[in-house]
């Protein structure tokens, strides 16, 4: 389907950012003229003065807010159809401008790290720096990793180039993948990312096998280019780790978000301990599905027939609003406002970026990209992305600009809370045994995909980066072998590990934001505990949860999460999530035996 065929009320309203492309061009020209060669003489070498430092921070905020809007507009228009060269050019232009302008601010952190500790601490406790105190604390903490002014400027100037690996992969994945046609309902249809998911969830055995083999075949055809792109991305991480004097790329990623390594250790330990339960679940799938052989392309097949929830987007959205009632009427009204006021781009169209996301900046409402299909999974995707959107909305509405942006570590929690609440609402409000079994199966699949699978991805990233850090080249053979061994460890002997699954790493876009994926796992771990508390305690727990949503990035993310009653420095939340998986599996078994 071409974008022109889609109804306007199913498209996002980018005119809320800029009225038209010409308005964007005017603002771009104004920002470029005003700031691309800015005179920083009044600030350089003078940041020990309180008023000068406040003015410098204020200038940074002002420039950032203007350029973020430029970026958002170009980024959304590019993603709605990556084939349009005009928006690819605009996206590239603003990326280059970001690097050029903020290279000029590169003197700030090195200068602040050289300040006397007593003076820096006096700024941190000064009420006039309330919007910047966490930023200053982070600067104080990062002294060992900040370079000289000249070196920081050089790294900033190179930022645009260093970010391009994700863009290259996006083009390979969306514009150059050349997916073939495949059989569906007796006809040959054009494959797409969205339809691939539909077939794996609902196609017959022959269709699943054909689509799986052809889909991975397209990636295998591009595997040399994808391998080099991913290897370059990892080498970029190793470069930054080395020049900034971090112990490892993982340590650099954790330190960058102010997350203690204990959280990562607790996650890996809990998942490894729970793999026998995962293997039990995989074997159960084979038994319940009545399969002589279970392949990797069978892993998404619902174990319960005639219970898939299928409905058009409008009805699905109403269901999401109803299912999130435990969060209160104000939250529900914000959801309605989002649909009414054009926050959401709903339909898949030719050239549109695959998947789903929420995006936005401080001075606009959030924007949500979907590729909605009438599947249960896509209904939950609506709940998921709106969780992201309203987290941003509440943070932006309750924090100053400098503290509004929460870290990626916190980004997957609100989205998953919405999914778990919706599932428990559906389970509670039906007497249909078949639907109950379906929902339990869906919940197990959610935990498998979001907790176990993302931890598998995280371990793959850790292996790949460790090899590169040790000077070992990353080749398609070494990467595929590492991934294949992990797949066998995670899924056990209840499934055939098809050879194509060794290439799964090659189609994961999140690998180009390194050490992102483990946060999905910590996100669902946290969400399970938060939902349990909300449903048990009601208003008091919701109040604490909203405090979490409204906290943005006001302090370290582990402390922010503690406001919602979850402490990931302990093993308790992880053990609770694993117990939830085990309990759901046992409940499913009991229903199957009735």
Residue 585's SS3 state is helix
- Is residue 588 within 8 Å of residue 440, measured between CB atoms? yes
Report which of 327, 346, 288 is spatially closest to residue 424, judged by C-alpha positions: 327
- Is residue 386 within 8 Å of residue 368, measured between CB atoms? yes
Q: In this structure, how many other beta carbons lie within 10 angstroms of the beta carbon of residue 39?
A: 8
List, in sequence order, every residue forming a beta bridge with 369; answer none if it has no partner.
345, 357
Report which of 267, 294, 234 is spatially closest to residue 482, judged by C-alpha positions: 234
Q: 438: which 2 tokens? A: 């379906």
C-alpha to C-alpha distances, 251 to 225, 240, 247, 267, 364, nearest whole angstrom:
28, 12, 6, 15, 33
Pairing of strands 344-345, 357-359: unpaired
- DSSP symbols for 90-122: HHHHHHHHHHHHHHTTTTHHHHHHTS-HHHHHH
How big is the CA angle at 572 (ends 522 and 252), to the nearest 5 degrees? 40
Q: 404: which 2 tokens? A: 């509004």
- C-alpha 532/C-alpha 417 separation (Å) is 10
Category of 45 on φ-ψ map: left (φ > 0), alpha (ψ -120 to 50) or beta: left
Q: 555: which 2 tokens? A: 């302090």
Residue 38's SS3 state is coil
Report which of 331, 362, 266 is spatially closest to residue 558, judged by C-alpha positions: 266
- Is residue 344 within 8 Å of residue 12, measured between CB atoms? yes
Give the chain's radius of gyration (CA, Å): 24
- C-alpha 526/C-alpha 259 separation (Å) is 15
**187 counts as catalytic:** no
Spot the catalytic one: 68, 210, 385, 504: 385
Q: Where are the beta strands (DSSP E) in 531-572?
A: none
φ, ψ dihedrals at 184, nearest 5°: -155, 120
Terminal CA-to-CA distance of the chain, rounded, Å? 45
DSSP state of 499: G
Residue with tokens 């319940």: 288
- Is residue 519 within 8 Å of residue 414, measured between CB atoms? no
Pairing of strands 344-345, 187-190: unpaired
- Is residue 355 within 8 Å of residue 192, measured between CB atoms? no
- The packing angle between helices 518-537 and 413-428, to 10°, is 50
Report which of 171, 534, 476, 507 is spatially closest to residue 353, judged by C-alpha positions: 171
Instruction: Give the catalytic positions in this structure.
Output: 385
């Amino acid at each position: 389907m071409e974008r022109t065929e889609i109804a306007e009320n199913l498209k996002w309203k980018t005119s809320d950012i800029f009225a038209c492309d010409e308005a964007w061009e005017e603002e771009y020209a104004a920002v470029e003229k005003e700031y691309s060669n800015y005179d920083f003489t009044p600030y350089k070498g003078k940041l020990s003065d309180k008023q000068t430092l406040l003015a410098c921070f204020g200038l940074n905020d002002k420039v950032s807010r203007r350029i973020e809007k430029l970026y958002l507009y170009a980024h959304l228009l590019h993603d709605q159809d990556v084939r349009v060269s005009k928006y690819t050019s605009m996206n590239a232009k603003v990326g280059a401008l970001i690097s050029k302008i903020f290279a000029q601010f590169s003197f700030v952190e090195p200068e602040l790290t050289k300040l006397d500790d007593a003076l820096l601490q006096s700024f941190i406790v000064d009420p006039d720096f309330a919007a910047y105190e966490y930023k200053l604390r982070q600067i104080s903490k990062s002294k060992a990793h900040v370079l000289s002014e000249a070196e920081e400027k050089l790294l900033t100037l190179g930022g645009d180039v260093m970010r391009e690996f994700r863009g290259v992969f996006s083009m390979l994945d969306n514009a150059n993948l050349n997916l073939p046609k495949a059989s569906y309902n007796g006809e040959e249809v054009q494959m797409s990312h969205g339809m691939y998911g539909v077939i794996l969830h609902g196609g017959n055995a022959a269709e699943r096998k054909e689509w799986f083999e052809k889909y991975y075949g397209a990636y295998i055809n591009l595997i040399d280019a994808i391998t080099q792109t991913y290897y370059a991305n990892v080498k970029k991480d190793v470069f930054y780790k080395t020049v900034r004097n971090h112990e490892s790329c993982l340590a650099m990623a954790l330190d960058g978000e102010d997350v203690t390594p204990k959280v990562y250790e607790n996650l890996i330990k809990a998942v490894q301990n729970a793999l026998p339960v995962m293997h039990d679940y995989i074997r159960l799938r084979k038994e319940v599905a009545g399969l002589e052989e279970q392949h990797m392309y069978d892993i998404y097949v619902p174990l319960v027939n005639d219970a898939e929830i299928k409905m058009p987007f409008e009805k699905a959205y109403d269901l999401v609003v109803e299912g999130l009632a435990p969060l209160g009427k104000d939250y529900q009204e914000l959801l309605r406002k989002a649909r009414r006021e054009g926050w959401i781009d709903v339909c898949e169209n030719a050239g549109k970026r695959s998947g789903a996301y929420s995006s936005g900046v401080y001075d606009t409402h959030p924007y949500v990209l979907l590729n909605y299909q009438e599947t249960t999974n896509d209904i939950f995707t609506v709940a998921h992305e709106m969780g992201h959107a309203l987290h941003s909305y509440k943070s932006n509405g309750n924090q100053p600009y400098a503290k509004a942006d929460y870290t990626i570590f916190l980004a997957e929690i609100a989205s998953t809370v919405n999914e778990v609440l919706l599932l428990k609402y559906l389970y509670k409000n039906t007497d249909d045994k078949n639907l109950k079994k379906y929902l339990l199966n869906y919940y197990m699949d959610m935990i498998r995909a979001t907790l176990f699978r993302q931890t598998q991805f995280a371990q793959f990233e850790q292996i790949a980066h460790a090899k590169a850090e040790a000077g070992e080249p990353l080749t398609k053979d070494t990467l595929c072998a590492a991934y294949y061994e992990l797949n066998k460890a995670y899924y056990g002997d209840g499934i055939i590990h098809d050879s194509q699954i060794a290439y799964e790493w090659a189609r994961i876009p999140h690998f180009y934001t390194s050490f992102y994926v483990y946060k999905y796992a910590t996100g669902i771990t946290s969400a399970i505990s938060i939902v349990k508390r909300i449903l048990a305690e009601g208003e008091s727990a919701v109040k604490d949860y909203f405090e979490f949503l409204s906290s943005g990035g006001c302090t370290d993310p582990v402390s922010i999460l503690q406001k919602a009653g979850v402490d990931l420095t302990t093993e308790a939340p992880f053990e609770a999530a694993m117990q939830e998986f085990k309990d759901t599996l046992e409940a499913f078994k009991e229903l199957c035996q009735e």
